[in-house]
Homo-oligomer: A and B are copies of this chain.
Amino acid sequence: MHDLDALFFPRSIAVIGASDRPLTIGHRIVSNLLDNGFTGPVYPINPRAAPILGLTSYPSITEVPETVDLAHVIVRNTLVAGVLEDCAARGVKVAIVNTSGFAETGEHGAALERELVAIGRRTGLRLFGPNCQGVMNTDPAVSLYSNFTFARMTPGRISMVCQGGGVAEVINNSFGMAGAGQRMYASNGNACDISIPEIIAYYGADQGTGVVVVHLESIADPAEFLERVRPVAATTPVLALKSGTTPEGARAVSSHTGGLMAGDTVTDVLFDSCGVLRFATIGELCEAAQAFAAQPVPRGPAVGMVTNAGSPAIIVTDEAVTAGLEVPDLGPEARAFLAERLQAIASVNNPIDMMATASGEEFSVSLQALVDEPSVDAVVVCFMTPFFVDTAGIARAIEHHAARTDKTLLAVAMTDPDGKPEWRDTVDRVRAAGVPVYYLPEAAARVLHHMDRFRRLRDREEDTPPELDVDRAAAETVIRSAGDGFLALHEVGAVLDAYGIPLVPEARGADHQALIAAAGELGYPVTLKAEAPTLVHKTEAGAVVCDLRDEQDLRHALHDLGERLGGHDGLGFVVQPHLAGGVEVIIGGARAPGLGSTVMFGLGGIHVELHRDVVFKLAPIGRSAAGQMLGSIAAAPLLDACRGREAIDRAALADVLVRVSLLLADLPQIAELDLNPVIAFPDGRRTAAVDARIRIERS
């Protein structure tokens, strides 16, 4: 038996702090359990032990004569610890601590919370909360509404877990108002013991769950999240909303929860590694969850449509195409099939645009053509409910095909269900056939867009970091002997060399003659850079001279920089080969607290600065993920053949990314690493970093 079975499938429940006063949480939980038909006994616990809602009360949990699986704890915060000891003594398996006044209120509350955790650890009692709402489970085996809120719950396949009680209820009500069927619900507040990833893993193992919906404000333990959620997302869609994405939002987070705020990029990297589909808004999350719960994920990006009103189909088309989906022409067979059976005035291409008078039979014909059409992966049926049409016939047509096709089927019912009973019936029938019903045409396109994102996430190539011939010990030795802060240049060189990361050769010094001699060995043309502790922005200071073609050019440049920048103490120079004909890229990485390290790729210069055109992954990565990174930035076409230059050797560049990611993963003392720029060439053997910085910080 799983630990959390006592939470989601309890055989009996005690409510400690139950009350006979209606406007209290202690009363509301008892009444919710009874009103929603909980299948086991409910034991109100109250010092006065008066009957509550007709149930026998007990003065203490220790006096309940029967076994208790689950206990709600609603007593004052300072009394919770004592009650938990009693629960443990009585053999309670899980306690839902609704009481607030713990870590969310500051240090004093945090100390109280640590005490609860200690009791749990010592006794084996599992804790849910504190400062939380509770759980629900529509499974008829329990019919569990163990929560003090009010929401309409329709049984279904969506299971959700949320950190913030407010957003949890907004999502919960959204499903209720949309008539979307739910399976389990958990809003676990401070989550001092039973964690969100633990609950996600529980949902993942539940046969009745078709999609998992998650809301997070902070990720307390990213490594736990990765470990527990990745296996779930491999088989069950996990849809997540992570708020606090902006600095201002994050400020609100830190005032609202006691959790650790991981940066937003880290969240993206984590979700990407897990295969979790991220959403930006509650609305899109709820729309999509209904489709994931009820329909298969489309096999491809092609959308087919049938409608009895042309203009809404145009909006679906616009939204779909803008989101990268396709609205293909129908094949000749489908067109002929339709032309024979529909009114002459209908448009027998995609979207199939029938007149407002189209009958249920005509809808059925069009749906048949779309589910039979090989070029279509998902089908959207849009309909208005004009008074002169038998809309029940449209519902029957959808029911018929929904039961027979394995393609994704969504409906857009552009009708006011409160307008007429038959419109409500039509919508209800379509929904009962397992076809999600949206009101706005654009919603169907958005949902298909998110399903397509999921398909691509799920179907991406498996990525395994390769075994590389690196000298980890050598790199560790360098870092061990260095202090915190930036590594010296020769140390950077040694670390990169140990991992086979190419760095452009260079000569440094202040002596002009020695530099000129070194340039002869490096080979002309060369680039000359001045450096000094006070010279921060080299390019802006005119301290970089490129493409010096011979000794005379170099001599002139040394003289000129010496004159202009002589005022900088400790002025020295670097000579490097001038690398023309390549593409400037940036490769970097940074530690992601609690998770490991990220590796980053972007194109140099303005792409990163102005267009934020970069991509991060969790290190280490393999060649497949590295290839994905190269292809996923907007500026990726610049790596192809371009303006007379051959295509960049992507394999060689990917190899650098893979090696950098392994270095970051192997040596967690590296807080930040920047190879900026790396010049990538069509001849991959020339691809190399021109400048590199590594910052060490032992945590």
**A387 x B28 contact (CB < 8 A):** yes
In angstroms, how far is the closest chain B Cβ from the Cβ of A601? 16
Beta-carbon contact of B309 and A253 below 8 Å: no
Is B167 touching A315 in the complex (CB atoms < 8 A)? yes
The answer to whether the Cβ of A505 comes within 8 Å of any Cβ in the partner chain is no
Decide: A309 and B245 in contact? CB cutoff 8 A: no
For A386, the chain B residues whose CB sits under 8 A away are: 149
Known A-B contacts A166-B414, A169-B414, A255-B353; A318 and B634 likewise in contact (beta carbons under 8 Å): no
Q: Is the CB of B319 within 8 A of A281?
A: yes
Task: Give Cα A505–Cα B11 distance, bound, in whole angstroms.
Answer: 90
Does the CB pair B28–A318 fall under 8 Å? no
Task: Give the distance in Å from the alpha carbon of A244 to the alpha carbon of B167 in the complex.
Answer: 35
Q: In the complex, what residue of chain B is closest to A538 when comparing beta carbons?
A: B644
Which listed residue, B244, B283, B353, B416, touches A318 by the CB 8 Å rule?
B244
A310 CB contacts on chain B under 8 angstroms: 164, 166, 252, 255-256
Given A23-B387, A150-B387, A245-B322, does the pair A313, B252 have CB atoms closer than 8 Å?
Answer: yes
Q: How far is the CB of A7 from chain B (nearest CB, A)?
A: 22
Cα A245 to Cα B320 in complex, Å, equals 11
The one of B166, B353, B539, B638 that contacts A643, using a Cβ cutoff of 8 Å: B539
Q: In the complex where A246-B322, A248-B321, A387-B23 touch, is A152 in contact with B315 (Cβ < 8 A)?
A: no
- Give the copy number: 2
A563 to B45, CA, bound (A): 99
Closest B residue by C-beta to A635: B610
Instruction: Say yes or no: B170 contacts A256, CB within 8 Å.
Output: no
For residue A442, CB closer than 8 A to chain B, the reply is yes
Contact of A165 among B282, B309, B353 (CB under 8 A): B309
Query: Are B440 and A164 in contact, CB atoms less than 8 angstroms apart?
Result: no
- Least CB distance from A19 to B in Å reads 11
Question: How distant is the Cα of A443 from the Cα of B105 in the complex, in angstroms?
Answer: 29
- A66-74, A344-352, A510-518, A669-677 - interface stretch: A344-352
Closest CB-CB distance, A360 to chain B, in whole Å?
15
Q: How far is the CB of A128 from chain B (nearest CB, A)?
A: 18
Q: Which residues of B contact A283 (CB under 8 A)?
A: 440, 442-443
Which chain B residues lie closer than 8 Å to A420 at the CB level?
150
CB neighbours (8 Å) of A169 from chain B are 309, 384, 414
Within A1-57, the residues touching B (CB, 8 Å) are 23-25, 28
Contact between A282 and B315 (Cβ–Cβ < 8 Å)?
yes
Known A314-B244, A317-B249, A416-B151; judge A606-B23 contact (CB<8 A). no
> Contacts A177-B418, A540-B644; is A314 near B387 (CB within 8 Å)?
no
> For the complex, what is the distance from the CA of A105 to the CA of B310, rounded to whole Å?
13
The reply to whether the CB of A698 lies closer than 8 angstroms to some CB of chain B is no
Please list 25 pairs of residues, one from A and one from B, whose beta carbons are closer than 8 Å in the complex, sorted by A's number: A23-B388, A148-B387, A149-B386, A152-B419, A163-B311, A166-B384, A166-B414, A169-B309, A169-B384, A169-B414, A170-B312, A170-B439, A173-B439, A243-B311, A244-B314, A244-B318, A246-B317, A248-B317, A248-B320, A249-B318, A252-B313, A252-B317, A255-B353, A256-B310, A282-B441
